[in-house]
Amino acid sequence: MASSLSVIVIARNEEVKIGACLDSCVRSIQAAKSQGLIDRGEIVLVDSASTDRTVEIAKAYPATIVHLPAEWHLSAAAGRFVGTRHVTGDLLLFVDGDFVLIPEWLPEAIRALLRDEKIAAVCGREIEELTGDSLLTRRLKSRIESLVAEPTAVNVGLYRRGALMSTGGIHPFLRGAEDRDVAYRLREAGYHLIRIDREMGTHRWSDRGALDFITYFRSVIVWSIGDGQLYRIRKEVRTAIADIRRRYANARYVHNYLLGLGGTLLLLTNLAAVFSFGPWIAVAADLSILLALLAVKSARRQTWKELLFSFHVFPYSIVRHGGFLAGFLRPPPDPSRYPTGERAVEPGNPVSEL
């Protein structure tokens, strides 16, 4: 028996990609229908008070457009949460507004999801569409595109609606990590999340040129705040608490802070030498550090650029732990307190008529 599918797209100021995103959603639904896997499909775009042409562009596509007021709490979690209030499908496909699906992926994902009732969510391999050739860009692209094992969470991907809603659905007040929260609760209930070995689609981190550290760290702090909130409210989910502790309290961060402490001490030594003891102490300290860096560079067979890039782990650690602490100190309100009454505009030509 064929299933019904609801695609929930979330967006905020995504005019660059929203057309390609919605077009890929339409073609994905058509691909699944042509193979008899679904008998009905719908698309709901939840727009979080965009100020660009996102909504104007989206009106050309067969999607119900749900408008969230600017004064409401706005986040990816809120968008997905509200989206589930406006759909009826047995299967839910969550897509970000800057993500372009590969239509052939969806039929395979549906087959994978339906082969076992204990599979709650399916994702695939992502292609990172990053501009520039910085070390940060290469590192992120390599890390994300190399993921092939069971996913820790499913952000963009296909969900079994019954499993999602029976375990509490999406928490709308989480600042980030809502997909990880869902994954913890699904696994606690005995469900599985899987990644099929097929390209799912392309994602773009930034529409303003090459990815920079500011854009990257903004994303990092959002995830970290969400993790802090999770740690505060999910004490009953033992796997969540254990995993968060493992991710935020490990030897890697000790190394990162020691690295930053060493750099700070070097700076203070230079300042003290210049103003108190004479520049020769600073020269001696700098020479010692330079020799140590040369040894590390040689041992790792790195360029100077690669070696200096490795020092970004110190501010990264500060951002991660600072965000986590902020989230922990400000736990989210209960989901039942999220506002209602959002405005929804039905499409002129729904997907079912295509």
Query: In this predicted structure, what is the pLDDT of residue 170?
Result: 97
Exposure string of 179-210, with b = 16+ CB inside 10 Å and e = fewer, is bbbbbbbbbeeebebbbbeeebbbbbbbeeee
**pLDDT in the model for residue 265:** 75
At residue 204, the pLDDT reads 77
Predicted pLDDT at 207: 60
Dihedral of alpha carbons 238, 96, 151, 188, sign = positive
Predicted local distance difference test score (pLDDT) of residue 214: 85
Rounded CA-CA distance 76/174 in Å is 9
Q: Where are the domains of the chain?
A: 3-206+333-353
| pLDDT averages per 10-residue partition of the chain, 354 residues | 90 95 97 95 96 96 96 96 96 96 97 96 89 72 74 96 96 96 96 95 73 85 96 92 94 90 75 65 68 69 75 91 96 95 86 62
Task: Say what the pLDDT of residue 229 is.
Answer: 97
User: For the chain, what's the residue count?
Assistant: 354
CATH entry, 3-206+333-353, from 1.10.533.10, 3.90.550.10, 3.75.10.10, 3.40.1160.10: 3.90.550.10
pLDDT of residue 274: 62
C-alpha–C-alpha distance, residues 77 and 250, integer Å: 28
pLDDT of residue 312: 87
Contacts of 123 (CB under 8 A, 6+ apart): 109, 151, 154, 155, 156, 157, 158, 193, 194, 195, 196, 200
